[in-house]
Amino acid sequence: MIVTLENSSFTARVNTFGAELCSLRRKQDGAELIWQGDARYWSGHAPTLFPITGKLRDLRFTHKGRSYEMPPQGFAKDSPFTVEQQSDQALTLCLTSSEQTLQCYPFPFRFLCTFALTDQGLALTRRVENTGSEEMFFSVGEHLGLALPPDTPLDQCQLTFSTPQTACNWRLDGGLLKERQAFLDNASSLALSKKLFREYGCLVLQGLNAPWITLRCGGRDWARVSAQGFPTVVVWSPDNAGAFVCVEPWQGLPSDSAAGYELARRPCILRLAPGRAYAYTLYLEAL
């Protein structure tokens, strides 16, 4: 089911299946910030990543001696959420653990996603609640597909930072962490191009300390994403004519290609005690 939100400045569309933001459009000029999906290039919009980010080694993990299988980026993106609360300008969706989720992820939970329009764009809150009796291990993150302005190729775009940034990049092998390399050195921007992603596949950046990451296209600021407090920011665009770039703040990482399968030892794994909750709010704004 698609739910439409509206305030005086923006409209948004959210799919309750996968709790996925499908559109964020500015009324003043009709500017669309979210990639509208095209199976020739990438059919997604902004998938929800939970309870893992990235890929597991051999698509499985172990916990307390038992093995579990899970697809890349977790199962939330392929799950039906229920409407917890709704108004003209905000929507809260909920995914609750079930017999089906416990077969691939042995932790009881509630996962709430709130989409709230603001004067500048959208605030997106993810809240994880541990409803079980033991410590819970998880990752959670975003996969925001940002549409480029019409008739603007990727090589005319860059990501800019409000202060110079130094960061490392993880090279991947089959979607798994392989080698951490120096990448940004006191840089205020990162030039984008299809050539960049042909060389790297995607960027898995760690060490950024910028409150905002701004997408600048054709010499003007187009959109920005808040990134403070996220240990990882993934950047990706496909090696095809798809006119978008994904900016993905993660509380997590893919699995290490040389490590074992234990979920509790996965890089950047979050831990949550019974009865406790974890939450963050991310902002996507039009400029």
Which domains does the chain carry?
A: 2-286 (2.70.98.10)
Q: Is residue 61 within 8 Å of 70, Cβ to Cβ?
A: yes
Burial class (CB in 10 A: 0-12, 13-18, 19+), 270: middle
Q: Which residues on neighbouring strands pair with residue 10, listed in sequence order?
A: 26
Confidence at residue 79, expressed as pLDDT on a 0 to 100 scale: 98
Rg of the chain over Cα atoms, rounded to whole angstroms, equals 18
pLDDT in tens, 15-30: 999 999 999 999 999 9
Q: Is residue 81 within 8 Å of 114, Cβ to Cβ?
A: no
**Confidence band, pLDDT 50/70/90 cuts, at residue 222:** very high
d(CA 32, CA 14): 14
Report whether the peptide linkage leading into residue 47 is cis, meaning its omega lies within 30 degrees of zero. Answer: no
Residue 73 DSSP code: T
**Confidence band, pLDDT 50/70/90 cuts, at residue 207:** very high
pLDDT in tens, 2-13: 999 999 999 999
Q: Is residue 238 within 8 Å of 197, Cβ to Cβ?
A: yes
The SS3 call for residue 192 is coil
Q: Which residues on neighbouring strands pair with residue 66, listed in sequence order?
A: 63
- Mean residue pLDDT of the chain comes to 97
d(CA 79, CA 102): 13
d(CA 45, CA 35): 5
pLDDT in tens, 46-72: 999 999 999 999 999 999 999 999 999
**Confidence band, pLDDT 50/70/90 cuts, at residue 248:** very high
The token pair at 147 is: 């549409």
Residue ranges of alpha helices (H) inside 167-276 are 194-200
**Confidence band, pLDDT 50/70/90 cuts, at residue 35:** very high
d(CA 176, CA 260): 12
Confidence at residue 69, expressed as pLDDT on a 0 to 100 scale: 98
Q: Whole-model pTM?
A: 0.97
* CA distances for 90 relative to 56, 93, 194, 241, angstroms: 33, 10, 36, 33
Confidence at residue 143, expressed as pLDDT on a 0 to 100 scale: 98
Helix (H) / strand (E) element for 104: namely helix 99-104
d(CA 115, CA 100): 26
d(CA 276, CA 147): 36
Confidence at residue 4, expressed as pLDDT on a 0 to 100 scale: 98
Confidence at residue 2, expressed as pLDDT on a 0 to 100 scale: 98
Kindly give, in sequence order, each residue whose CB lies less than 8 Å from that of residue 75, ignoring residues fewer than 6 positions away: 50, 51, 101, 104, 105
Q: Is residue 284 within 8 Å of 33, Cβ to Cβ?
A: yes
- The conformational region for residue 49 under phi > 0 = left, psi -120 to 50 = alpha, else beta, is beta
From the list 54, 45, 7, the residue with the least C-alpha distance to 26 is: 7
